[in-house]
Amino acid sequence: MKTTDNRPSGVNFVKMAERNAILDNAHVGKLVSEILTAVRDEGDAAVRLYSQQFDQFYPELIEVSADERLAALAALEPQSRKDTEFAIANVTAFAHAQLKTILPLEVELLPGVHMGHRIIPLEKVGCYVPGGRYPLLSAPVMTIVPAKVAGVDEVIACLPPKAHPAMIAGCHLSGADRIFRIGGAQAIAAMAFGTETVPRVDKIVGPGNAFVNEAKKQVFGPIGIDQLAGPSEIFIIADETGDPEMIATDMLAQAEHDVCTRVGLITTHKPLALAVMKEVERQLLDLSTAITAGQAWKDYGEIALCRDESALIAYSDYIAAEHLQVHTKNARDMALKVRNYGSLFIGELASVVYSDKCSGTNHTLPTLASGRYTGGLWVGDYVKIATHQWLTPEGVEQVAPAASRQAATEGMEGHRRAAQLRLNRIRSGNYQPD
């Protein structure tokens, strides 16, 4: 039994979100459309104009030079470099392991009917690297490294004009072929359409704010995208064994990303729900990023109290959170029962923070309930699985009669002739195989 807004039944709220991310961002569509049109028509000039308008920076040179890349690398604090290389190594290893599961195929489906598929890396990929509020050192790692592992010919990166130099170093260490000082929707436009400086790419990946998300949505079609990734989300499912301090800490850790971050607890245990409410407010008192995290909690934070485990699972799948943590008595068993999420963190020790930074799984993940139909960014997003077939005369004998009859039934005479021609030539002896 569902409620009228399609939410599962058996769910009450200790705290409801005061705002709706989808409705809040509805206004950005028109502005983004204007930005895309301007960059498509005016190229670099429009990119510079919007950089000045939105980032208060006029980039004379849009592309980061080789000397600037090396300077950023030289300026990178040694421990930060080691930590970045640690993250790169882990993401690389996991991407290689995933790539090994994507296999080419050749099969003789019927005698003489050969089919298969190839694994073909994309030619050119654009990676959007967010870095407005914080210097997200792991952001380039998550998008660029899997592309290089997949064998993409050229990987370009766009990051905000005022991004921390450490992020340029991160793009360089991750293997970006070219790096550009462009942020926001104008970066998506530049990569989608190409400019005098920025090459047109085949696919755009990476998380971003509402403007970046909307831009990806609008250019999709001729240009591929990974998924709608942003603003960020975290939900935690917990029972009576949940730890209020740990749950509150993890929610606020994600909330500090952005004032639009959506954070939530889904539980069957009211005392835990009340304790987490109190703990969140306590931690906000001395959290250095409380201005951002507190606003996110106020506007988009929620605590859902579920009637039983089945209602908890149903509501979690309804939300389809970008990050879903499982803090229950039998976390591994519970993990097998949920199906809609961007990435899953099983047990109290598996924090989103580890994945965000360096553990190896990707932090570019679906938001706004798109986890109902897709997973997060992975090495498979950088390859195409393209099918093929080839037939022997024996194979034509297998499939041509059915194809010819079906085409005739449909009234598609051209199709019927194409199917029948080969069969007639083989049967008449007029076909000479290569």
Q: Which residues carry out catalysis? A: 322-323
CA distance 410 to 412: 5
Strands 302-306, 11-15: pairing is: antiparallel
Backbone φ and ψ of 303, nearest 5°: -130, 115
CB 188 within 8 A of CB 204: yes
Q: Which alpha helices (H) appear in 66-207, and where do they start and end?
A: 66-75, 78-99, 139-150, 165-174, 184-193
How many Cβ atoms sit within 10 Å of the Cβ of residue 79? Answer: 8
DSSP-based three-state secondary structure for 156 = strand
CA dihedral 265, 267, 273, 275 (to 10 degrees): -90
**Residue 231: is the preceding peptide bond cis (ω within 30°)?**
yes
- Amino acid sitting at position 51: S
| Helix, strand and coil percent figures for the chain, each rounded to 5 | 45, 20, 35
Nearest to residue 203, comparing CAs of 400, 3, 380? 380
CA distance 341 to 375: 7
CA 196 and chain centroid, separation: 28
CA distance 299 to 302: 9
Tokens linked to 203: 């696919």
Cα four-point dihedral sign 52, 55, 57, 63:
negative
Q: Angle, to 10 degrees, between the axis of helix 413-428 and the axis of helix 393-410?
A: 150
Degrees, nearest 5: CA angle 429-433-434:
155
CA distance 404 to 401: 5
CA distance 362 to 408: 50
Running DSSP on this structure, what letter comes out for residue 76? S
CA distance 183 to 54: 9
CB 148 within 8 A of CB 175: yes
